Amino acid sequence: MNPQVRLLLFVTCIIPFAAFMMWGVFCMPRFGSSQHPYGDIASKITISNLSINNAVTAVTFDIRGFDTLGEEFILFTAVVGILLLLRLQKEEHENASLPPSRQNGRWFHANYSILYIGKRLLILIVLYGFYIALHTTVSPGGGFQGGVILSSAFLIYMFLYDFHAFERIPIWLFDLLEGAGMAGYLICGSLGWFTGRGFMHNVIPPTAKGTLLSGGLIPVINFSVLVAVFAGFIVLLIEFALQGLLSSRSKGAQ
C-alpha cells in the first residue's frame, strides 16, 4: 500500500468519524448543567428497580449490558498478550533453572522501619481490598478495584520479605482462576437470555435495599469480576518479575 492510497483511506474514514464525533459532542448536555437525561434515568433505575445505592455499579453491571463485556475483556486480552510476549524462550528456560547467583539472589534487604510499617499495612490492605470488593452495592468501588488492591498486597509481600516468592506460587492456578472468573461473568450475563431478555438482565429479583447482597445478580457478577481481576494482575506481576529476574541469572552475570 503506497502512501497516497493510505492517505486516501485515512481521509475517507476520518471525515464521517469527525462528523459523527462533532454531532455527538455538540449535542451533549453542557458542562456543569443540571439537565442530564441519562443520569436521571440511571439513578431512577438504580434506586427503584435494582434497590442498590451505587449508580456506577448499576450502570456497569446491569443497565449497560453488553458493553461491559468488552470492558472486562480488555484486561483479559492484555493478560493473554503479555503471557504470549513474555513467555520463556528456549535459552531463557535454561537460565531460569540456574540457581540465583549469590549477590543477585536477593535484590535488597528491606529496611527495618519499612518492614515494621509494611508488615502492619499488609493486613490492612488485604482487609481494605475485601471491603472495597464487597461494598460495591453501597459505596464506590467494586470487583475491579478490590481485585487490584488484593493483588497489590502480594506485590508488597514480595518487596518486603522475599522477592522470589513469585517463583514458588503456581502460575497455572492463577491462569485457571482468571479463566474461571471470566467464565462466571459470561454465564451470569447470559442467564438473561434464557428468560428471553437481554444480556445481563437481572434474573434474581432484587429485594433488600442498601445491604451488601441487594441488587439480585449484581453481587455474583461482582465476585466473578473480583476473581478474574485478582488472578489477572497476579499473572501480570509474575511474568514481569520473572523477566526482571532472568537477566540476573544469565551465565554472563554469574
Question: Which residues contact other proteins (rule: CB under 8 A)?
Answer: 54, 56, 132, 140-142, 144-145, 148-149, 151-152, 155, 233, 236-237, 240-241, 243-244, 246-248, 253
Nearest approach, Cβ of residue 8 and other proteins (Å)? 32
Q: Are 87 and 75 contacting, i.e. CB atoms less than 8 angstroms apart? A: no
Nearest approach, Cβ of residue 244 and other proteins (Å)? 4
Helix axes 143-160, 218-246, angle to 10 degrees: 30
Q: Are 182 and 72 contacting, i.e. CB atoms less than 8 angstroms apart? A: yes
Q: Which is nearer to other proteins, 77 or 195 (CB)?
A: 77
Nearest approach, Cβ of residue 247 and other proteins (Å)? 4
- Characterize 160-193 residue by residue with b for buried, 16 or more Cβ atoms within 10 angstroms of its Cβ, and e for exposed: beebeebeeeebeebbebbeebbebbeebbebbe
Q: Which is nearer to other proteins, 177 or 204 (CB)?
A: 177
CA angle 150, 151, 153 (to 5 degrees): 70
Q: Which is nearer to other proteins, 144 or 192 (CB)?
A: 144
Nearest approach, Cβ of residue 169 and other proteins (Å)? 17
Specify the residue for cell string 463485556: 69
Q: Are 215 and 52 contacting, i.e. CB atoms less than 8 angstroms apart? A: yes
Nearest approach, Cβ of residue 248 and other proteins (Å)? 6
Give the cell for residue 209: 435495599
Give 217's DSSP letter: T
119: burial class by Cβ within 10 Å (0-12, 13-18, 19+)? middle
Q: Which is nearer to other proteins, 140 or 198 (CB)?
A: 140
Q: Which is nearer to other proteins, 159 or 199 (CB)?
A: 159
Q: Which is nearer to other proteins, 192 or 223 (CB)?
A: 223
Nearest approach, Cβ of residue 153 and other proteins (Å)? 9
| CA 60 remoteness from chain centre | 13
